[in-house]
A and B are shown apart, each in its own frame.
Chain A
Amino acid sequence: METVVNILSWAFLLAGAFLGISGAVGLFRFPEFFTRLHAASVTDSLCAALIVLGLILQSASLMLIIKLVLILLILTYTSPTAAHALAKAALHGGLKPVPDGEGEPSSKS
Chain B
Amino acid sequence: MRDLFAIVMLFGIYSLLSAGFFVSMDAVDVALTEAAVGAGITTVLMLGTLALTARTEKRKGHGPLLPLLVVIVTGAALIYATLDMPYFADPDAPAHQHVAPRYIQESGTEIGIPNIVTSVLASYRGFDTLGEVVVIFAAGLGVLILLGVAGDRRHDASPSTMQHHLVLRVITKSLIPLILLYALYIQFHGDYGPGGGFQAGVIFAAAFILYSIIYGLNSAERIISPAVLRFLMAAGVLIFSGTGVAALLLGGNYLDYDFLAHDPVHGQHVGILLVEFGVGVTVTAVMISVFFNFSGRSNARQETGKQ
Which residues of A are interface residues toward B (Cβ below 8 A)? Answer: 74, 77-78, 81, 84-85, 88, 92
Contact in complex: A78, B161 (CB < 8 Å):
no
Kindly count the residue-residue contacts between A and B in the assembled complex, taking CB atoms under 8 Å apart.
Answer: 16
A interface secondary structure, majority = helix
Chain B residues 168 to 192 lying within 8 A of chain A, measured CB to CB, are 168, 171, 174-175, 178
Q: Write the chain A residue with the least CB distance to B178.
A: A74
Find A84's partner among B161, B168, B175 (CB 8 Å cutoff): B168
Which residues of B are interface residues toward A (Cβ below 8 A)? Answer: 161, 165, 167-168, 171, 174-175, 178
- 15 sample A-B contacts, Cβ–Cβ < 8 Å, listed by A number: A74-B178, A77-B171, A77-B174, A78-B171, A78-B175, A81-B167, A81-B168, A81-B171, A84-B167, A84-B168, A85-B165, A85-B168, A88-B165, A88-B168, A92-B161
Residues of chain B within 8 A (CB-CB) of A92 are 161
Q: List 10 extra interface pairs beyond A85-B165, A92-B161, CB under 8 A.
A: A74-B178, A77-B174, A77-B175, A78-B171, A78-B175, A81-B167, A81-B171, A84-B167, A84-B168, A88-B168
Q: When chains A and B are docked, how far (Å) is the Cα of A84 from the Cα of B292?
A: 25
Residues of chain B within 8 A (CB-CB) of A85 are 165, 168
Q: Write the chain B residue with the least CB distance to A92.
A: B161
Q: When chains A and B are docked, how far (Å) is the Cα of A84 from the Cα of B165?
A: 10
Residues of chain B within 8 A (CB-CB) of A84 are 167-168
